[in-house]
Amino acid sequence: MKSKEPRWLGADLTQLARVGSTNQVLRERMRRQHVPEGAVVLAREQTAGRGRLGRVWWSPPNQGLYVSVLLYPPRTRQGGILSLLAGVALTDAVEQATGMTPGLKWPNDAVMGGKKYAGILVEGGTEPQPWAIVGMGINVLGTVPEDFPHATTLSQELGKDVDIEGLWRHLAKALEQRYEQWLEDGNAPIIAQWKTVSVTLGYAVEVRTPSGLITGIAEDVSDDGTLWIRQGSDRVPVMSGEVSLRLANGAYAPRT
């Protein structure tokens, strides 16, 4: 999707050198005062970056884009789709910044060359109105330490440096545009776009869900973002979890 200049996303922009977590900074600001929709906190380094499932997000100085964006989704809409929407917008932005089309592993792991280069953490609530903080951590420059064998950086995959500021400009445009598309046209176009870059559908997968492990073929993602797993004649819905793809040797990887 070709993106226009953002109008409201990033109009309220806080740029910091070093923070614990950009999601946390935005949340603390919301506790003190009303914060406008589209407010952004960007940092060059995080000392306590938060990942999904209580993990720490590796956030070394000047190597990544660590950003959080505040949205107020309408009360009548399911905010759960926002994490897939953010993945679609990130893919648009990387495509525009680098000319490469990366993939998305359900629900929103951003992958290139079979490895994860970015993660998305959406935190939200309903009071005093529905809100969502979309936190995105993108490994842009340098290389990842050896103890992250399933992770990569954009420059590592592309073989050249990527401009972090430029990537942010593309991401702000893409996120605003995809969010407005969602407000206007609903979930279907976002899910349709997600499917075009999926590296999940059609694969044999193992999904770690809150209620246990599910294995089967990832068959579909419905318009509410649910992943459907084919198990013989059954189809099992998965609302949240972590997907590992089955490799040729029968092992499941990567579990990022």
Q: Which of 21, 96, 152, 193 binds ligand BTN (CB under 6 A)?
A: 21
Q: Which of 6, 79, 87, 119 binds ligand BTN (CB under 6 A)?
A: 119
Using DSSP's 3-state secondary structure scheme, residue 131 falls into: strand
55 binds ligand BTN (CB under 6 A): yes
67 near 136, Cβ under 8 Å? yes
Read off the tokens for 125. 């609530």
44 binds ligand BTN (CB under 6 A): no
Q: Outline where DSSP puts E strands in the chain.
A: 13-19, 40-46, 64-71, 103-105, 109-112, 115-125, 131-139, 204-209, 212-221, 227-231, 234-238, 242-246, 252-253
107 binds ligand BTN (CB under 6 A): no
Q: How far is the CB of 109 from ligand BTN (least distance, A)?
A: 6
Q: How far is the CB of 176 from ligand BTN (least distance, A)?
A: 18
In the shown chain, the binding pattern of residues 60 to 89 toward ligand BTN, with x for contact by CB under 6 A and - for none, equals ------xxx---------------------
Q: Cα–Cα distance between 184 and 101 in angstroms, integer? A: 26
Residue (46 or 244) nearer to ligand BTN, CB:
46
Residue (111 or 190) nearer to ligand BTN, CB:
111
How many residues in the shown chain lie near ligand BTN by CB under 6 A?
19
Q: Cα–Cα distance between 145 and 52 in angstroms, integer? A: 19
Q: How far is the CB of 178 from ligand BTN (least distance, A)?
A: 18
Q: Closest Cα partner for 218 from 254, 188, 243, 196?
A: 243
| Interface ranges with ligand BTN (CB under 6 A) | 21-23, 46, 49-52, 55, 57, 66-68, 119-121, 135-137
